Chains A and B, each alone.
Chain A
């Protein structure tokens, strides 16, 4: 039976890969299915897991206790709110020691960029709303609704955080421009109908 090294398998057939196939810089064929693959392995694969400490020791007299577990000894301080934390409550994030509550609050308020896993792109929404009805031609009549909506979104969410990868306000500007032009077009059409 083949022993599992690093628990790395052939990405196609799932056969355990040989250590000689790692970090060679070349494609190696799988011994079973013949699929050519390249395996890059890093030292983290040798790291062993440490089970989280269950909150080191019961407190002795005159020792500080954890804010959340009064019977546990405090080992560090939350760098955000300053409460004492035991080993169980101490969360190391981005080289900071934080308590679970601060992390929760930070995530909810969008203060912790590193914890954000989703963002709504209002600039994309506004631009698509301003452009798509015109580009699809047959939906051009809907622009009397979509243009004001695009303009509203662009202005209302001008300061809302955009993409995390850092995009300019170009889409917002373009959306405002197109939406304004469409609204002006409708106004001119109404005026023309009224005068003729």
Chain B
């Protein structure tokens, strides 16, 4: 007896559907006769969404930075985990067992970096029909997404025909003349597209000026070790973190230039990395010099403290300086259209 052909063929890729920070099940894509089946598998339940080839309007593929961020975070953790047993060996004469354990943990994070790098750049893919726009989490790697899109495009083209660039250009005027999509499509008739929110950049400004002030404090701290300076530094750090967090929230889906947005993220990465290194080294110093607070130690006697202070000051000035320049530029550009008659 002839075996019945399978109704669905699996497409490459498997992803996690994420809601907030929690996983809402694994997802995969399956190719049917006339539709694409999106399967979301959570515990004992499978949820299906069908996208008929004749209804698919567009597919958007975007390169993301998730892979780079994973590499950065895991690389940093690996570096710290490798450095910790090394410091243990140097300062507390740890035996080989400590080194091996540290090495294993560091190796694990390094392995994540290697595997993640080998898997290639990350991507985000969205499929659009007339009534919905669906994220396809299983296409989270660029090479895999392109492979799947080639298959899908062939099927959709076979169902709908091919829309050439010339057709897009020629149809553009007709569509716009008919009142964009509003004339025929009740779902799009609501009005003009949503404009991007204007960003309240005061928190960005505060964060950047705090960074510059912190740079000045760090330079002073190299020459003068004072409890008042320590207290001011702590307040500045707290204020900076508050402003940075608020700025990160405020800049989402705003008209702020991408350079300034990236700079805010860079500030976060720098702050987190510096705090981890400073706290780690602070613990080592506290164990080495019982009874003395880390900041009371002169950087001229401890080259690591000197290096950390200098790196911190350079980062503060470079990020703060660039940020203030970009912010002023953004403010000038925002004000320019208002000045025109």
**Residues of A in contact with B (beta carbons under 8 Å apart):** 3-9, 11-16, 19-20, 22-24, 27, 32-51, 114, 116-122, 124-125, 128, 163-166
17 contacts between A and B (CB under 8 A): A4-B180, A5-B176, A7-B181, A14-B193, A14-B196, A23-B164, A24-B165, A35-B63, A38-B61, A38-B62, A39-B60, A43-B161, A46-B163, A49-B130, A118-B48, A121-B44, A166-B7
Most buried by B among A3, A4, A45, A163: A45
Which A residues are in CB contact (< 8 Å) with B176? 3, 5
Q: B160 touches which one: A22, A39, A42 (CB < 8 A)?
A: A42
Taking CB atoms and an 8 Å cut-off, the chain B residues in 113-158 that contact chain A are 124, 126, 128-130, 149, 153, 156-157
Whether B188 pairs with A7 at a CB distance below 8 angstroms is yes
Whether B253 pairs with A14 at a CB distance below 8 angstroms is yes
Known: A7-B181, A49-B184, A49-B187. A42 touches B30 (CB 8 A): no
Which A residues are in CB contact (< 8 Å) with B126? 11
CB closest chain-B residue, reference A125: B44
Which B residues are in CB contact (< 8 Å) with A117? 47-49
For the residues of B in contact with A, the DSSP-based class is mixed
Besides A50-B184, A164-B8, 17 other A-B contacts (C-beta < 8 A): A3-B176, A4-B181, A14-B196, A19-B168, A19-B169, A33-B258, A38-B61, A38-B62, A38-B149, A45-B163, A49-B130, A117-B49, A118-B45, A118-B47, A121-B46, A122-B44, A163-B39
Task: Report the bound CA distance from A48 to B185 in whole Å.
Answer: 6
For the residues of A in contact with B, the DSSP-based class is loop
Task: Report the bound CA distance from A49 to B187 in whole Å.
Answer: 9
Whether B57 pairs with A9 at a CB distance below 8 angstroms is no
Q: A49 touches which one: B62, B164, B175, B186 (CB < 8 A)?
A: B186
CB closest chain-B residue, reference A33: B258
Known: A7-B193, A37-B63. A45 touches B57 (CB 8 A): yes
Task: Report the bound CA distance from A46 to B62 in whole Å.
Answer: 23
**Residues of B in contact with A (beta carbons under 8 Å apart):** 6-8, 10, 30, 37, 39, 41, 43-50, 54-63, 124, 126, 128-130, 149, 153, 156-157, 160-165, 168-169, 171-172, 175-176, 180-181, 183-188, 192-194, 196, 253, 258
Which B residues are in CB contact (< 8 Å) with A164? 8, 37, 39, 46, 48
Task: Report the bound CA distance from A88 to B60 in whole Å.
Answer: 35
Whether B196 pairs with A44 at a CB distance below 8 angstroms is no
Whether A8 pairs with B60 at a CB distance below 8 angstroms is yes
Task: Report the bound CA distance from A164 to B258 in whole Å.
Answer: 44
Whether A11 pairs with B180 at a CB distance below 8 angstroms is no
Which A residues are in CB contact (< 8 Å) with B161? 43
Whether B194 pairs with A14 at a CB distance below 8 angstroms is yes
Which A residues are in CB contact (< 8 Å) with B6? 166
Which B residues are in CB contact (< 8 Å) with A12? 62
CB closest chain-A residue, reference B153: A40
Task: Report the bound CA distance from A41 to B163 in whole Å.
Answer: 7
Whether B62 pairs with A35 at a CB distance below 8 angstroms is yes
Min C-beta distance of A170 to chain B, whole Å: 15
Which A residues are in CB contact (< 8 Å) with B169? 19
